[in-house]
Structure 1
């Protein structure tokens, strides 16, 4: 018996859909507070030493956190090749902007303290701000466009044709999703700073985090209302074959206002996802106000978990709907790699992901504790 036949094709497809979600959530939880901290840097740090404190809360860990983004991209490439091809082609300029912004982060960390000039350091502080804001905004806008549908189509040979433009991605609903992402990650960054700093920096982070948590709650609720009342969702109108070949054109699909809520009607327990997003944001706001450091970060993480899960369960089994031709929409059941490829990648993931989790946990354990002005002056401390 061939080993990969031990797990059915449909089960492997479902496992990889879940793994992709886990990788994206891990990125949002960890690199999310890096991005949020960058966004808050010019505001919570008023003096040079305060900004150094802020930078040193994420400086030692941001590279490890970004591994989850790389793993997510790799998972899309290996498990969902059509999704990789369509998304990286359709969002090329947006992804270039994200890449450019992410490059500003290591450059800012390395160059900021190479000179003592106030103007020099201020420039790199705002570069770190852009390195946090731009990816957070664009990634949220991308999610908004996934919910709206992307204008691509496939011909009979499954060649991809994209009919949209960069500025066409900036619809009001997509920008609303971008603002949800910014507020959500700013909350995560603020909660991280409250946990890792003290004094005025922590107090300012608490105030900004409270505002961001409130905006996350408000904007996420508005997004749900818009999704129900105005945004056309997608549904499959033909029979679904979870074991079928990876050919999106073997199905039919249609659009309908409120269709993204079909899964909740069929399985009411899925409402736990948006409830977690709303409850996590409200709890983060409350716990920041009562100065519960660990509790606020956990609540913010719950909000991120709930918001991302909401998107995933709302559009399932769609991965990337097509607004140009709903029939060409990519789904879990018709856009995956082969049975053997998914199995080999699953074995590799079962080996290496736990190693990454163990190493990351060890790093956080070693670096646990608050960062303050005194710690930056300790002998042998190679602080940023």
Structure 2
């Protein structure tokens, strides 16, 4: 059994799954942080209400961002070619995300340092931008990945990216960005109804009901775009050697508008995942209306998981397709690190991941309970 788990073929698939788990973990945890920040101008009208909203995520946002760091580290170590292409090709977009993510912690730390309304309003706007921009850009990145990215490799495997920032901001990618934004706004609203009291929770419930329906409609519309072949599609046509060398140039890939549906046609049970991607936001909308706070947050999490999982299942075994030279696309079986690297990383993950999950669960247990204006006022300057 251990020998099977540690062979090259299995390790590659395991690390593809783990990459998905890390990205989903980031979206499910830091996603509601970004959702709350995006909702701040709409659910909180007074300084006290804004402090309530911010304090629902203030104690946990730093820990939630660990998933983002782990995801980036996993790409760097397990899929170095993917890291090289995505982080260099999407450099300007990543730079915008980095600026936004820098604004968020600064806003958290400095917002309540002074009682001046203008000072606090400025940091509230920074918190909004620092939350909404990443939520949008991450979806744009997924949209570009589905369509294919213009890159190729030289004979010595040096990656060459041929696109630009404005090429990334194309209509179909922006559509995917809106799906991401609506999904995380819904997730943030579900968190606020679960954690906040008073008018903040009431307004979040109203906004969340609408954004959940929008999420379901946009995601279903994205499925129609895939069905029509408008979001691209790439298929490996040469024999796949799962334990072969990490060389993207030794396979054949063709652009095929229906390729992103091939895995679902081959394995019909997989249709459950995108179906839940539509149904879960609608269940969240019903939960908002029925004021079932816990179930609403669970449904929102389910929506996040299944929407992201749908993309991974549709693209497998492709990691990053090349629109300019499909044969140079990166795949699970030819873009990984060495067997020894994947094996050692898996051993470390088996040891440390349970510790991270246990600590995270303990933190949320300690911080259990709702946040209201009275509790924020009682905390005084120690609160955000």
Q: Shared fold by TM > 0.5?
A: yes
Residue matched to 2:303: 303
* Equivalent position of 1:329 in the other structure: 329
Instruction: Give the distance between the partners of 2:5 and 2:22, measured in 1 at CA.
Output: 24
Structure 2 counterpart of 1:135:
134
1:46 maps to: 45
State the distance in 2 between where 1:172 and 1:376 align.
43
Confirm or deny: 8 A CA contact 1:102 1:135 kept in the other structure: yes
Q: CA deviation at 1:78?
A: 0.5
Structure 2 counterpart of 1:169: 168
CA distance in 2, matches of 1:224, 1:182: 17
Alignment pair present for 1:205 and 2:204: yes
Q: Is the 8 A contact 2:112 2:381 kept in 1?
A: no
Q: Which residue of 1 aligns with 2:20?
A: 21
State whether residues 38 and 132 of structure 1, in contact with CA within 8 Å, keep that contact through their aligned partners in structure 2: yes
Counterparts in 2 of 1:339 and 1:183: CA distance versus 1, 3 Å: same
Contact 2:149–2:323, Cα closer than 8 Å, also in 1: yes
Taking the aligned partners of 1:312 and 1:8, their CA distance within structure 2 comes to: 22
Change (3 A) 1:82 1:203: same
Per the alignment, residue 249 of structure 1 pairs with 249
| Aligned position for 2:102 | 103
Is the contact between residue 138 and residue 178 of structure 1 (CA under 8 Å) also seen in structure 2?
Answer: yes
The residue aligned with 2:72 is 73
Unpaired runs of at least 5, structure 1:
none
Following superposition, the deviation at residue 4 of structure 1 comes to 7.5
Residues 37-65 of structure 1, C-alpha deviations (whole Å, 9 max, x = no match): 00001110100000000000000000000
The 1-side partners of 2:42 and 2:297 are apart by 20
Once residues 30 and 270 of structure 1 are traced to their aligned partners in structure 2, the CA distance between those partners, rounded to angstroms, is 25
Three-state SS of the structure 1 residue aligned to 2:323 is coil
Cα distance, 1:377 vs structure 2: 2.8
Q: Contact 2:5 / 2:11 at 8 angstroms: preserved in 1?
A: no
SS at match of 2:233: strand
Q: Is the 1:98–1:134 Cα contact (8 Å) retained in structure 2?
A: yes
Q: Secondary structure at the match of 1:348?
A: helix
Are the equivalent residues in 1 in contact too, given 2:4–2:10 (CA < 8 A)? Answer: no
3-state SS in 1 of match to 2:254: strand
Shift in CA distance, 224/379, structure 1 to aligned 2, threshold 3 Å: closer
| 2:192 is aligned with 1:193 | yes
**How far apart, CA to CA, are the structure 2 residues paired with 1:277 and 1:46?**
32
Shift in Å, 1:379: 5.7
Separation in structure 1 between the aligned mates of residue 5 and residue 317 of structure 2, nearest angstrom? 23
Query: RMSD over aligned Cα, in angstroms?
Result: 1.2
Q: CA, structure 1 residues 183+341, in 2 after alignment: closer, same or farther (shift >3 Å)?
A: same
The CA distance in 2 between the partners of 1:72 and 1:322, in whole Å, is: 22
Q: Which whole-Å deviations, capped at 9, do the CAs of 1:57-97 have from their partners, x for residues lacking one?
A: 00000000000000000000010000000000100011111
**Residue 11 of structure 2 is aligned to residue 12 of structure 1:** yes
2:275 — aligned with what?
275
TM-score between the two structures when normalised by the length of structure 1: 0.98
Residues of 1 paired with 2:46 and 2:3: CA distance?
A: 58
Judge which range, 229-238 or 333-342, deviates more.
229-238
Moved over 3 A (4+): 3-6
* Deviates most, 369-378 or 282-291: 369-378
Taking the aligned partners of 1:299 and 1:5, their CA distance within structure 2 comes to 36
CA shift, 1:381, in A, is: 7.5
**1:228-258, CA deviations, whole angstroms, 9 ceiling, x for partnerless residues?**
1123200011111001000011100101112
